[in-house]
Amino acid sequence: MEILREIRPVRDLVGGWKREDKSVALVPTMGYLHEGHASLIKKARADNDKVVVSVFLNPAQFGPGEDLATYPRDWDRDAALCESLGADAVFSPEPAVMYPPSFEAEVSVPALSRVLCGASRPVHFKGVCLVVTKLLNIVSPRRAYFGLKDAQQFFILRRLARDLDLDVELVPCPIVREPDGLALSSRNSYLSPVERTAALALSQGLFAARRLVADGETGAREILEAVVRTIAAEPLARLDYAQAVETATLRPVARLEGECLVAAAMWMGRTRLIDNFIHPLE
Ligand code: AMP
Protein backbone atom coordinates (compact mmCIF):
# COMPACT_ATOMS: atom_id res chain seq x y z
CA MET A 1 0.00 0.00 0.00
CA GLU A 2 1.36 3.41 -0.97
CA ILE A 3 1.33 6.24 1.57
CA LEU A 4 1.30 9.62 -0.12
CA ARG A 5 1.66 13.03 1.53
CA GLU A 6 1.84 15.30 -1.55
CA ILE A 7 -0.49 15.94 -4.48
CA ARG A 8 1.85 15.23 -7.41
CA PRO A 9 2.58 11.60 -6.44
CA VAL A 10 -1.18 10.94 -6.14
CA ARG A 11 -1.74 12.25 -9.67
CA ASP A 12 1.18 10.17 -10.99
CA LEU A 13 -0.02 6.98 -9.31
CA VAL A 14 -3.65 7.39 -10.41
CA GLY A 15 -2.55 8.52 -13.87
CA GLY A 16 -0.66 5.23 -14.29
CA TRP A 17 -3.73 3.23 -13.20
CA LYS A 18 -5.95 5.12 -15.62
CA ARG A 19 -3.61 4.43 -18.54
CA GLU A 20 -4.20 0.75 -17.72
CA ASP A 21 -7.96 1.50 -17.76
CA LYS A 22 -8.38 0.66 -14.05
CA SER A 23 -11.46 1.99 -12.20
CA VAL A 24 -10.41 4.14 -9.24
CA ALA A 25 -12.38 4.71 -6.02
CA LEU A 26 -11.91 7.42 -3.40
CA VAL A 27 -12.99 7.09 0.23
CA PRO A 28 -12.58 10.47 1.98
CA THR A 29 -12.15 10.34 5.78
CA MET A 30 -10.83 12.44 8.63
CA GLY A 31 -9.09 9.46 10.23
CA TYR A 32 -9.58 7.66 13.56
CA LEU A 33 -11.16 4.98 11.44
CA HIS A 34 -13.84 2.60 12.69
CA GLU A 35 -16.17 -0.02 11.21
CA GLY A 36 -18.27 2.71 9.55
CA HIS A 37 -15.26 3.86 7.53
CA ALA A 38 -14.29 0.21 6.98
CA SER A 39 -17.69 -0.48 5.39
CA LEU A 40 -17.02 2.27 2.81
CA ILE A 41 -13.53 0.94 2.07
CA LYS A 42 -14.88 -2.62 1.71
CA LYS A 43 -17.56 -1.49 -0.73
CA ALA A 44 -15.04 0.56 -2.70
CA ARG A 45 -12.71 -2.47 -2.74
CA ALA A 46 -15.48 -4.74 -4.04
CA ASP A 47 -16.63 -2.38 -6.81
CA ASN A 48 -13.33 -0.99 -8.19
CA ASP A 49 -9.86 -2.00 -9.38
CA LYS A 50 -8.02 0.55 -7.21
CA VAL A 51 -8.94 2.18 -3.89
CA VAL A 52 -7.52 5.41 -2.48
CA VAL A 53 -8.44 6.33 1.10
CA SER A 54 -7.82 9.93 2.12
CA VAL A 55 -7.07 10.57 5.79
CA PHE A 56 -7.18 14.32 6.27
CA LEU A 57 -8.43 16.16 9.34
CA ASN A 58 -9.80 19.08 7.37
CA PRO A 59 -9.47 22.34 9.35
CA ALA A 60 -11.82 24.13 6.94
CA GLN A 61 -14.85 22.18 8.13
CA PHE A 62 -14.43 23.11 11.80
CA GLY A 63 -15.81 26.40 13.09
CA PRO A 64 -14.22 28.49 15.84
CA GLY A 65 -14.72 26.78 19.19
CA GLU A 66 -15.37 23.37 17.60
CA ASP A 67 -13.31 20.26 18.30
CA LEU A 68 -10.50 20.46 15.69
CA ALA A 69 -7.78 20.57 18.38
CA THR A 70 -9.18 17.60 20.33
CA TYR A 71 -10.39 15.47 17.40
CA PRO A 72 -8.99 11.96 17.97
CA ARG A 73 -6.10 10.73 15.80
CA ASP A 74 -4.36 7.38 15.43
CA TRP A 75 -2.32 7.35 12.24
CA ASP A 76 -0.67 3.94 12.80
CA ARG A 77 -3.99 2.22 13.42
CA ASP A 78 -5.62 4.00 10.43
CA ALA A 79 -2.81 2.96 8.07
CA ALA A 80 -2.91 -0.64 9.34
CA LEU A 81 -6.70 -0.82 8.88
CA CYS A 82 -6.51 0.57 5.32
CA GLU A 83 -3.81 -1.94 4.48
CA SER A 84 -5.75 -4.86 5.99
CA LEU A 85 -8.84 -3.88 3.96
CA GLY A 86 -6.85 -3.93 0.74
CA ALA A 87 -6.60 -0.18 0.01
CA ASP A 88 -4.03 0.53 -2.71
CA ALA A 89 -3.05 3.96 -1.39
CA VAL A 90 -3.64 6.32 1.51
CA PHE A 91 -3.43 10.03 0.78
CA SER A 92 -2.73 11.88 4.02
CA PRO A 93 -1.50 15.42 3.36
CA GLU A 94 -0.52 18.06 5.91
CA PRO A 95 -2.97 21.00 6.02
CA ALA A 96 -0.38 23.25 4.29
CA VAL A 97 -0.37 20.90 1.29
CA MET A 98 -4.12 21.32 0.85
CA TYR A 99 -4.25 24.98 1.95
CA PRO A 100 -0.98 26.78 1.18
CA PRO A 101 -0.64 30.32 2.58
CA SER A 102 -2.03 31.98 -0.55
CA PHE A 103 -5.16 29.80 -0.58
CA GLU A 104 -8.39 31.70 -1.21
CA ALA A 105 -10.96 29.75 -3.27
CA GLU A 106 -14.40 28.83 -1.95
CA VAL A 107 -16.91 26.16 -2.93
CA SER A 108 -20.39 26.14 -1.46
CA VAL A 109 -23.97 24.98 -1.82
CA PRO A 110 -25.46 27.70 0.37
CA ALA A 111 -29.15 26.92 0.80
CA LEU A 112 -28.65 23.22 1.55
CA SER A 113 -25.78 24.09 3.90
CA ARG A 114 -27.73 26.53 6.09
CA VAL A 115 -30.30 24.06 7.42
CA LEU A 116 -30.22 21.05 9.79
CA CYS A 117 -26.60 20.71 11.04
CA GLY A 118 -25.68 23.87 9.12
CA ALA A 119 -27.85 25.98 11.43
CA SER A 120 -25.51 25.32 14.38
CA ARG A 121 -22.35 24.73 12.26
CA PRO A 122 -22.39 27.66 9.80
CA VAL A 123 -19.00 27.06 8.14
CA HIS A 124 -19.03 23.26 8.25
CA PHE A 125 -20.48 22.30 4.88
CA LYS A 126 -18.54 24.99 3.03
CA GLY A 127 -15.38 23.34 4.35
CA VAL A 128 -16.69 19.90 3.36
CA CYS A 129 -17.53 21.08 -0.19
CA LEU A 130 -14.10 22.64 -0.51
CA VAL A 131 -12.11 19.63 0.65
CA VAL A 132 -14.18 17.11 -1.30
CA THR A 133 -13.85 19.19 -4.48
CA LYS A 134 -10.09 19.31 -3.99
CA LEU A 135 -9.84 15.58 -3.23
CA LEU A 136 -11.96 14.72 -6.29
CA ASN A 137 -9.73 16.93 -8.46
CA ILE A 138 -6.55 15.43 -7.02
CA VAL A 139 -7.59 11.78 -7.24
CA SER A 140 -10.11 12.03 -10.13
CA PRO A 141 -11.86 8.80 -9.11
CA ARG A 142 -14.66 7.14 -11.05
CA ARG A 143 -16.53 6.61 -7.77
CA ALA A 144 -16.41 8.22 -4.33
CA TYR A 145 -17.95 6.61 -1.23
CA PHE A 146 -19.80 8.44 1.55
CA GLY A 147 -21.69 7.25 4.63
CA LEU A 148 -25.33 8.12 5.17
CA LYS A 149 -24.50 8.68 8.83
CA ASP A 150 -23.72 12.17 7.43
CA ALA A 151 -26.79 12.23 5.19
CA GLN A 152 -26.92 16.01 4.82
CA GLN A 153 -23.30 15.94 3.67
CA PHE A 154 -24.18 13.34 1.03
CA PHE A 155 -27.16 15.32 -0.31
CA ILE A 156 -25.10 18.53 -0.44
CA LEU A 157 -22.30 16.74 -2.30
CA ARG A 158 -24.82 15.17 -4.66
CA ARG A 159 -26.04 18.68 -5.52
CA LEU A 160 -22.47 19.98 -5.80
CA ALA A 161 -21.57 17.20 -8.24
CA ARG A 162 -24.66 17.88 -10.32
CA ASP A 163 -24.30 21.66 -10.36
CA LEU A 164 -20.58 21.56 -11.20
CA ASP A 165 -20.86 18.62 -13.64
CA LEU A 166 -18.32 16.64 -11.64
CA ASP A 167 -17.47 13.46 -13.53
CA VAL A 168 -17.79 11.09 -10.59
CA GLU A 169 -20.36 8.69 -9.17
CA LEU A 170 -21.10 9.44 -5.51
CA VAL A 171 -22.02 6.19 -3.76
CA PRO A 172 -24.10 6.40 -0.55
CA CYS A 173 -23.41 3.68 2.06
CA PRO A 174 -25.67 2.60 4.96
CA ILE A 175 -25.08 3.66 8.57
CA VAL A 176 -23.02 1.18 10.61
CA ARG A 177 -24.15 0.92 14.25
CA GLU A 178 -22.95 -0.53 17.53
CA PRO A 179 -24.92 -3.64 18.60
CA ASP A 180 -27.06 -1.42 20.86
CA GLY A 181 -27.96 0.95 18.01
CA LEU A 182 -25.60 3.91 18.49
CA ALA A 183 -24.26 5.03 15.09
CA LEU A 184 -20.49 4.62 14.97
CA SER A 185 -18.63 7.93 15.05
CA SER A 186 -15.06 8.99 15.77
CA ARG A 187 -16.65 11.44 18.23
CA ASN A 188 -18.15 8.61 20.33
CA SER A 189 -14.67 8.38 21.90
CA TYR A 190 -15.43 11.67 23.70
CA LEU A 191 -18.31 10.08 25.66
CA SER A 192 -17.90 9.04 29.29
CA PRO A 193 -19.44 5.64 30.18
CA VAL A 194 -22.53 7.37 31.59
CA GLU A 195 -22.86 9.57 28.49
CA ARG A 196 -22.34 6.56 26.22
CA THR A 197 -25.43 4.92 27.74
CA ALA A 198 -27.47 8.14 27.66
CA ALA A 199 -26.45 8.71 24.01
CA LEU A 200 -28.78 5.87 23.04
CA ALA A 201 -31.70 8.33 23.31
CA LEU A 202 -30.82 9.56 19.81
CA SER A 203 -30.90 6.22 17.97
CA GLN A 204 -33.82 5.01 20.10
CA GLY A 205 -35.83 8.14 19.26
CA LEU A 206 -35.15 7.61 15.57
CA PHE A 207 -35.97 3.89 15.83
CA ALA A 208 -39.31 4.81 17.45
CA ALA A 209 -39.97 7.26 14.61
CA ARG A 210 -39.00 4.60 12.10
CA ARG A 211 -41.47 2.14 13.62
CA LEU A 212 -44.26 4.72 13.18
CA VAL A 213 -43.26 5.11 9.52
CA ALA A 214 -43.16 1.32 9.07
CA ASP A 215 -46.70 1.20 10.51
CA GLY A 216 -47.89 3.68 7.88
CA GLU A 217 -47.61 7.06 9.64
CA THR A 218 -46.66 9.84 7.20
CA GLY A 219 -47.29 12.96 9.31
CA ALA A 220 -43.96 14.70 10.03
CA ARG A 221 -45.24 16.16 13.33
CA GLU A 222 -46.22 12.75 14.71
CA ILE A 223 -42.98 11.13 13.50
CA LEU A 224 -40.73 13.87 14.92
CA GLU A 225 -42.65 13.87 18.19
CA ALA A 226 -41.35 10.34 18.83
CA VAL A 227 -37.76 11.60 18.49
CA VAL A 228 -38.32 14.70 20.60
CA ARG A 229 -40.11 12.75 23.36
CA THR A 230 -37.39 10.09 23.62
CA ILE A 231 -34.59 12.67 23.81
CA ALA A 232 -36.53 14.83 26.30
CA ALA A 233 -36.83 11.78 28.58
CA GLU A 234 -33.02 11.56 28.85
CA PRO A 235 -31.84 14.20 31.35
CA LEU A 236 -28.25 14.30 30.05
CA ALA A 237 -29.34 14.90 26.45
CA ARG A 238 -30.16 18.23 24.83
CA LEU A 239 -31.91 18.20 21.47
CA ASP A 240 -30.35 20.36 18.75
CA TYR A 241 -32.94 19.59 16.07
CA ALA A 242 -35.29 16.90 14.78
CA GLN A 243 -36.55 17.52 11.26
CA ALA A 244 -38.13 15.83 8.29
CA VAL A 245 -37.02 17.27 4.94
CA GLU A 246 -37.11 16.33 1.28
CA THR A 247 -33.67 15.19 0.18
CA ALA A 248 -33.51 17.26 -3.02
CA THR A 249 -33.90 20.65 -1.28
CA LEU A 250 -33.56 19.79 2.45
CA ARG A 251 -36.75 21.84 2.97
CA PRO A 252 -39.13 20.68 5.72
CA VAL A 253 -42.08 18.52 4.72
CA ALA A 254 -45.43 18.11 6.45
CA ARG A 255 -45.76 14.52 5.16
CA LEU A 256 -43.20 11.91 4.23
CA GLU A 257 -43.74 11.51 0.49
CA GLY A 258 -41.02 10.70 -2.03
CA GLU A 259 -37.40 10.67 -0.84
CA CYS A 260 -37.24 12.30 2.59
CA LEU A 261 -34.65 12.50 5.35
CA VAL A 262 -35.65 12.29 9.01
CA ALA A 263 -32.61 13.63 10.86
CA ALA A 264 -31.77 14.65 14.42
CA ALA A 265 -28.81 16.07 16.31
CA MET A 266 -28.32 16.03 20.05
CA TRP A 267 -25.79 17.31 22.55
CA MET A 268 -24.49 14.85 25.10
CA GLY A 269 -22.32 16.97 27.37
CA ARG A 270 -19.83 18.65 25.04
CA THR A 271 -20.31 16.05 22.31
CA ARG A 272 -22.66 16.66 19.40
CA LEU A 273 -24.14 13.48 17.94
CA ILE A 274 -26.17 13.02 14.74
CA ASP A 275 -28.34 10.24 13.35
CA ASN A 276 -31.09 9.80 10.74
CA PHE A 277 -33.10 7.53 8.51
CA ILE A 278 -34.29 7.88 4.96
CA HIS A 279 -37.82 7.40 3.67
CA PRO A 280 -38.88 5.19 1.93
CA LEU A 281 -37.43 2.70 4.45
CA GLU A 282 -35.08 0.06 3.02
P1 AMP B 1 -15.41 11.23 8.82
O2 AMP B 1 -14.07 10.61 9.03
O3 AMP B 1 -16.24 11.38 10.05
O4 AMP B 1 -15.34 12.48 7.96
O5 AMP B 1 -16.22 10.18 7.93
C6 AMP B 1 -15.72 9.75 6.70
C7 AMP B 1 -16.80 9.00 5.97
O8 AMP B 1 -17.22 7.88 6.75
C9 AMP B 1 -18.05 9.87 5.73
O10 AMP B 1 -18.57 9.62 4.44
C11 AMP B 1 -18.97 9.37 6.81
O12 AMP B 1 -20.34 9.53 6.48
C13 AMP B 1 -18.62 7.91 6.88
N14 AMP B 1 -19.05 7.35 8.16
C15 AMP B 1 -18.74 7.80 9.41
N16 AMP B 1 -19.38 7.08 10.34
C17 AMP B 1 -20.13 6.16 9.67
C18 AMP B 1 -21.04 5.13 10.08
N19 AMP B 1 -21.32 4.90 11.37
N20 AMP B 1 -21.64 4.40 9.12
C21 AMP B 1 -21.38 4.63 7.80
N22 AMP B 1 -20.54 5.58 7.37
C23 AMP B 1 -19.93 6.33 8.28
pLDDT digits (tens, 9 = 90+) for 180-192: 999 999 999 999 9
pLDDT value for 146: 98
237 CA → ligand 1 middle, Å: 22
Domains and CATH numbers, the chain: 2-173 (3.40.50.620), 186-277 (3.30.1300.10)
76 CA → ligand 1 middle, Å: 19
pLDDT value for 113: 98
35 phi, psi to nearest 5 deg: -65, -25
Question: Mean pLDDT, consecutive 10-residue segments, the chain of 282 residues?
Answer: 98 98 98 98 98 98 96 98 98 98 98 98 98 98 98 98 98 98 97 98 98 98 98 98 98 98 97 98 89
pLDDT value for 282: 85
Please tell me the distance from the alpha carbon of residue 173 to that of residue 193, in angstroms, as a whole number. Answer: 28
Q: Tell me, using a 6 A CB cutoff, whether residue 210 lines ligand 1.
A: no
Ligand 1 mutation pick, 26, 35, 149, max ligand atoms within 8 A of CB: 149
pLDDT digits (tens, 9 = 90+) for 226-235: 999 999 999 9
102 CA → ligand 1 middle, Å: 30
> Is the pTM of the predicted complex or chain greater than 0.75?
yes
Please name the residues in contact with 66: beta carbons below 8 A apart, sequence gap of 6 or more.
121
Task: Enumerate the active-site residues.
Answer: 37
| Residue nearest ligand 1's atom 18 by CA | 36
